[in-house]
Structure 1
């Protein structure tokens, strides 16, 4: 692969990862959906599996999804990107803060990583045409209130 194209592709994919988080936090559901191919799959741990761009958008925007929070902040860092022609994989670390009510001290947080597969599409309007085929969210720790898709810890007392 031409080294310049490889660098450009990595930059576009890093932009897509940032756009993914921006769209979530700004409640830009159309922009969020645009980061996925039509037949995409989103997995959040083993509990949640959503298939199809429209289903992913609708579930994420619903009252059982991010709409239940007064605000969110999704940080994505340490983007490890591997490009192979028109497909790619990425792992990026995440930290998500989900505000509950009016106080910034009342929140539900999760951290871990996103493992993604991507495909170059015909579109160039966003991230050089790169879109998510699969997004696997693996959370390794939680803080604050429990997130709805995470089992509440058993009180050992």
Structure 2
């Protein structure tokens, strides 16, 4: 076998890594405010539901449909915050050109104007993905909260 040939089990491992990598691009895009990177992680007709996590924190966040709408919503709602997202415990199931990813994402939110305050959430991401060419993209993401700490009013800083 040459160094560039992949065995079938390696191809499956490569797909599993590429699925998780889509969530890494999603998180890094938010944290870096790199909306091109973020866009590379999501399908044009993506559906994103932060509602379950928001409800546990006591506020509403609508289900958002479409790449442009999601980027607009996140860039507006997080515009006054520095964020860090850490992805852990990814579990991937692949079925042809679709996949499902369950992961924990710790999301820290700190007001740019007052870094002494924070709101930290550990969320469970239930992610559906599709293969588009050589990459995997998120088609649906549902975020539920496991635990949270800090000052929830950070999320409404204007």
TM over 0.5: yes
- Partner in structure 2 of residue 139 of structure 1: 145
Gap runs ≥5 in structure 2? 1-7, 53-59
Contact 1:35 / 1:132 at 8 angstroms: preserved in 2? yes
For 1:110, which of 109, 121, 129 is the aligned residue?
121
Which of 4, 9, 16 is the matching residue for 1:10? 16
Give yes or no for contact 2:25–2:40 (8 Å, CA) kept in 1: no
Match of 2:69 among 23, 39, 55: 55
Q: Does structure 1 conserve the Cα–Cα contact (< 8 Å) formed by 2:119 and 2:155? A: no
TM-score (normalizing by structure 1): 0.82
Provide the TM-score with structure 2 as the length reference. 0.82
Aligned 8 A contact 1:33 1:56 in 2: no
Matched with 1:152 is none
In 2, Cα distance between equivalents of 1:4 and 1:84: 16
Q: Work out whether 1:38 is the aligned partner of 2:44.
A: yes
Counterpart in the other structure of 1:72 = 83
Q: Which structure dedicates a bigger proportion of its chain to helix?
A: 2
Query: Number of paired residues?
Result: 140
